[in-house]
Amino acid sequence: MKNKGLRGVDAGETSICTVGEKSDSLHYRGYDVVDLSENCSFEEVAYLLLYKKLPNKDELRKFKSRLKSKRYIPEQLKEVLERIPKSNNPMDVLRTACSFLGNLESEKNFDNQFDCSERLLAIFPSVLNYWYHFSHSGVRVSIENSSDSIAGHFLSILYGREPNETEEKVMNISLILYAEHEFNASTFAARVCAATLSDIYSCITGAIGTLRGPLHGGANEKAMELISKFDDVESASKAVYKMLENKELIMGFGHAVYKTQDPRNEIIKKWSRTLSEGKSNSKLYFISCEIEKIMKEEKNLFANADFFHASAYHFMSIPTKLFTPIFVCSRISGWTAHIIEQRLDNKLIRPGAKYIGKDPMSFIPLNERS
């Protein structure tokens, strides 16, 4: 079938993001992600995605204040989170939390869509960390802290202390890099749901469920699983050559849209190097570089945004099982922007399908069938 998986098919229009055009670049509402990651806070980028412009100082202050006021977890949701065992996939936790929150705080009508978007953006770091601490140590962790950033809020709850400047900066950059990526599978799922005029919680729940699939999410976790196997660069090199010989899949390389590079990779790679300095396990950065080199030389595949995120997150003492859920905490900004955009000029998304079944059949009564 031509265009299997809808590859290369324009499935709609968007003013939110441009992926892969003009030398494999990435732009959010016209702004290069490199410039945004070097000069903005994640809140500025989330505001840009939701409200179509970069905020001025007063708009940013008010936006951060609103997000800070929306971090709290309702008691009924805490009760649900406490019933989910630590063995569960954290993506299931976020999916359930989003759906349940939709029961407690329904959207009611589309006039509430920006308020609901901000609520989800604010609460997800609280939900993820509350469940993680309770399920793994039985602690009902406080989500109150002085940080006015989502990056600082997330790390403060996770660490039980304020993050240092570098930790918060790298988390901020990571959230920016993962914030939006056009019509990827989870975003398209959200838009398909939105096109039915369903509520925002249903749309986001569908997006989370789509990201949970290993062909869309989880590459940074798989990358961590890979690089942590090796004691040094030499053993990593031998093993990766063997994996390639056996035609094993190595996650974190290549991309469905980018052809020569993922512009997000060099940004997070640089910060992985910075974070590795002085660490006892700094070898993980150099192991990652060796694998990147081999994949380029042997398969002409480049590292995507997920590969060096693995070592960067690890150097920040973030548990591997939280890697993909952090993506959710970021991508909520892009998902909600797309839901809002879909509603502005909506048409039910209903593609056709090429039939490959049998020709028309004559009906056989039950008592005549062999």
Separation of alpha carbons 325 and 319, rounded Å? 11
Phi/psi of residue 23, each to 5°?
65, 45
Q: Where are the beta strands (DSSP E) in 164-318?
A: none
Separation of alpha carbons 155 and 169, rounded Å? 11
Closest CA to 274 of 175, 172, 177, 167: 167
Annotate 311-360 with three-state secondary structure: HHHHHCCCCHHHHHHHHHHHHHHHHHHHHHHHHHCCCCCCCCCCCCCCCC
| Tokens linked to 189 | 């799922």
Closest CA to 154 of 362, 318, 266, 286: 318
Separation of alpha carbons 151 and 168, rounded Å? 6
Separation of alpha carbons 166 and 152, rounded Å? 11
Catalytic residue list: 216, 255, 306
Separation of alpha carbons 109 and 92, rounded Å? 26
Helix (H, G, I), strand (E, B) or coil at 118: helix
